[in-house]
Amino acid sequence: MTTQIIKLNLIPGGIHPIVYASQYDNQTNALVFELYNGATPYAVASGVAVLISGTKPDKTGFSYAAASASGNVAYVNVTQQMTAVAGDVLCELRLRTESQIIGSLNFILRVERGALNDDSVLSDTDIPLIEQAVDIAANLADYIQTAEDSAATAVQMAATATDAATRSETINTNVEGIYNQLTDATTDATQAATAANAAAASLSNLSATANTLAEGAPATASYDIANKRFTFGIPRGATGASGVTTPLSGFFTMWVDPDTGNLYAASETDMSDYFDYDSETGNLYFITEDGN
C-alpha cells in the first residue's frame, strides 16, 4: 500500500495541496493528513468526527469517515468511488460534532486516467483470450474426467431405474395373481353358499309318511317328486308267545288275540280277587296280598 503525507491548514487561503491517485485505485493508497491551525498543530478533540468528501468531474460525489484520527493526524483510505472518474476531484476534510461543523480543510485529488477502462471491450486476438485458452487446455484432462464421471453416474442411475422398473413389474404381476386367486375363492365360496341355501330350502319342504304293512311283508319306500314326499312301508312285527306267570293261589295263562290285540288271562280258578279292571281308563290292575 502506498502512503502519502499531506499537510492541511484550517486557515483558508493559499494554494490547495494536490494529492495524486490512479484511476480505479481501491484500498491501495493511504492518505495521512497532518492538521494545523496556522503554524500550530491542531489536535482532533474527543467526540469530533473526521469526514472526507468530494465532487467528481461527472458531478457525482462521495463522503466517507476517516479510518482513524489521533492527535493532529487523520488517516483516510482511498476508495474505488473516489477514483472512478479521471480528472481533478475537489475534496475537503471536514471536522464536525453532532450539532455543528468545526472547520474544513480543502485539497485536490488528481486522478490520472487509467490505460484501460473498466468497461472497455477486449479484442478477440487479445492476449487474455490466449491465456484463457491455455488455461482451458491445462484443465482439459480434469474436464474430461469430470465428464466421464458424470456419464458413469448417469449409466448407473439408468441401470438402477431399469432394475426398479423390473422389480415393480414383478410385484404388480404377483399382486395381480393374488387378486385373481382371491376372486376365484370368493366366487367358489359364493356358489357353495348358494348351493347350501338351495339344499336347505329343498330339505325344509320335504315331508314323509309311514304305513304299517302286514306281518312278514317286505319293507317299501317311494318318493313323490312333485310334492317332495317320502312314503315308507314298514311290516308289522311277529306276535310273541304268550307268557305264563304263577300267582300265589295257582296257575293262570296270559295270551294276546292276534286279530284284536287284546290281552287275556285264563285260569281254572276265580281270578276276580287278583285283578281289577278300570273301564274308564282301560287299565288292568293286579292286586297283591296287601290289597294294592
The pairing of beta strand 87-96 with beta strand 2-9: unpaired
Determine the pLDDT at residue 267: 66
Distance of alpha carbon 95 from the chain centroid: 66
Determine the straight-line distance between the first and last CA of the chain, rounded to whole angstroms. Answer: 152
pTM across the whole model? 0.41
What is the model's pLDDT at position 131?
67
The string of pLDDT tens digits covering residues 85-99 is 999 999 999 999 988
Other CB atoms within 10 Å distance of the CB of residue 25: 19
- Could you name the CATH architecture of 2-112? Sandwich (2.60)
| Residue 64 in grid coordinates | 466517507
Per 3-state DSSP, the chain is made up of helix, strand and coil in percentages (nearest 5) of: 25, 35, 40
Q: Please state the domain extents for the chain.
A: 2-112, 244-286
Whole-number pLDDT of residue 72 = 94
Supply the pLDDT for residue 248: 45
Phi and psi at residue 242, in whole multiples of 5°?
Answer: -65, 140
pLDDT per residue as tens digits for the range 203-242: 666 677 888 888 888 888 887 888 777 787 788 776 655 5
DSSP 17-29: PEEEEETT--SSE
Mean pLDDT of the chain, nearest integer: 81
